[in-house]
Amino acid sequence: MAKSSSLARPTKHEHQFKRVAILFAGGPAPAANAVISAAAVSFLRNGVEVVGVKHGYSSLIDFSADQPLVEGSDYVMIDHKMLSRTRSRRGIMIGTARANPGKMISHPSHLEDPERSAPLKNVYEALSSIGVDALISIGGDDTLKTANKFKLYQDHLPEGSKKIPVVHLPKTIDNDYRGIDFTFGYFTAVDFLAREVRNLLADAEANRNYFLVESMGRSAGWLAYGVAIAGEASLVISVEDIAGKYRTTEEYTDPATGETHSREIMNLDEVIRRIVLTMTTREREGKEYGVIVIAEGLAELLPFAHLEGATRDDHGHIKVSDVSLYTLFASLIEAEYKKQAGKKRQVKPVQLGYEARCTVPHAFDVMLGSQLGVGAYRALVEQKANGVMVSCEGQLQLVYVPFEELVDPETLVTVVRYIDQESDFHKLTRFLETYVNEEDLVG
Q: Which residues pair with 424 in a beta bridge?
A: none
Q: Is 330 domain-assigned?
A: yes
Q: Which of 400, 422, 412, 428 is nearest to 151 (CA)?
A: 412
d(CA 51, CA 264): 45
pLDDT digit string (tens) for 79-115?
999 999 999 999 999 999 999 999 999 999 999 999 9
3-class DSSP state of 312? strand
pLDDT at residue 442, rounded to an integer: 54
The range of the structural domain enclosing residue 97 comes to 19-183+361-405
Whole-number Å distance between alpha carbons of 414 and 145: 7
Has residue 1 got a pLDDT over 60? Answer: no
- Which of these, 202, 232, 213, 192, lies nearest to 432 by C-alpha position? 232
Span 266-272, average pLDDT: 96
**What φ, ψ does residue 70 adopt, rounded to 5°?**
-115, 125
| DSSP code per residue over 326-390 | HHHHHHHHHHHHHHHHSS---EEEEEESGGGTTSPPPHHHHHHHHHHHHHHHIIIIIS---SEEE
Lowest mean pLDDT among 30-39, 310-319, 343-352, 375-384: 310-319
* Residue 373 placed within a domain: yes
The answer as to whether 322 is a domain residue is yes
**In a shared domain, residues 345 and 424:** yes
Same domain, 117 and 208: no
Model confidence band, residue 253 (pLDDT cutoffs 50, 70, 90)? confident
- The answer to whether residues 125 and 197 belong to one domain is no
Note whether 269 and 178 are same-domain residues. no
Q: What is the Cα–Cα distance from 224 to 424, expressed in whole angstroms?
A: 16
Separation between Cα atoms, residue 12 and residue 374, nearest integer Å = 14
Residue 415 counted as domain residue:
no
Same domain for 43 and 118? yes
Q: Are 378 and 398 in contact (CB under 8 A)?
A: yes
> 22-26, 35-39, 186-190, 416-420: lowest mean pLDDT where?
416-420
> What pLDDT is attached to residue 322?
73
CATH of the domain at 216: 3.40.50.460
205 with 259, same domain: the answer is yes
- Tell me: do 218 and 344 sit in the same domain: yes
Please, what is the end-to-end C-alpha distance for the chain in angstroms?
A: 77
247 with 381, same domain: the answer is: no
Task: Examine the domain organization and report whether 287 and 194 are in the same domain.
Answer: yes
51/171 Cα distance (integer angstroms): 20
> Which residues fall within 8 angstroms of residue 338, CB to CB, at 6 or more apart?
344, 345
Q: Residue 30: what pLDDT?
A: 97
Q: Does 149 share its domain with 193?
A: no
Q: What is the pLDDT of residues 152-170, one digit of tens each?
A: 999 999 999 999 999 999 9
Say if CB 294 and CB 210 are below 8 A apart: no
CATH code (residue 151): 3.40.50.450
Query: What was the pLDDT predicted at 3?
Result: 65
Written in H, E and C, the secondary structure of 130-173 is: CCCCEEEEEECHHHHHHHHHHHHHHHCCCCCCCCCCEEEEEECC
Alpha-carbon distance of 172 to 164, in angstroms, equals 25
* pTM of the entire predicted model: 0.91
d(CA 78, CA 51): 6
**Residue 431 belongs to a domain:** yes
Is 429 contained in some domain?
yes
What are the beta bridge partners of residue 53?
A: 23, 75
pLDDT for residue 37 is more than 80: yes
Q: For residue 257, what pLDDT is reported? A: 82
Residues 335 and 210 in one domain: yes
Query: How many domains does the chain contain in total?
Result: 2
**Rounded to an integer, what distance in angstroms lies between the CA atom of residue 238 and that of residue 225?**
8
At residue 258 the predicted structure's pLDDT band, cuts being 50, 70 and 90, is: confident
Which ranges of 247-324 would DSSP assign to H, the alpha helix?
Answer: 268-284
pLDDT exceeds cutoff 70 at 418:
yes
Averaged pLDDT score across all residues of the chain: 93
**Which DSSP state fits 293?**
E
**Type of residue at 56:** G
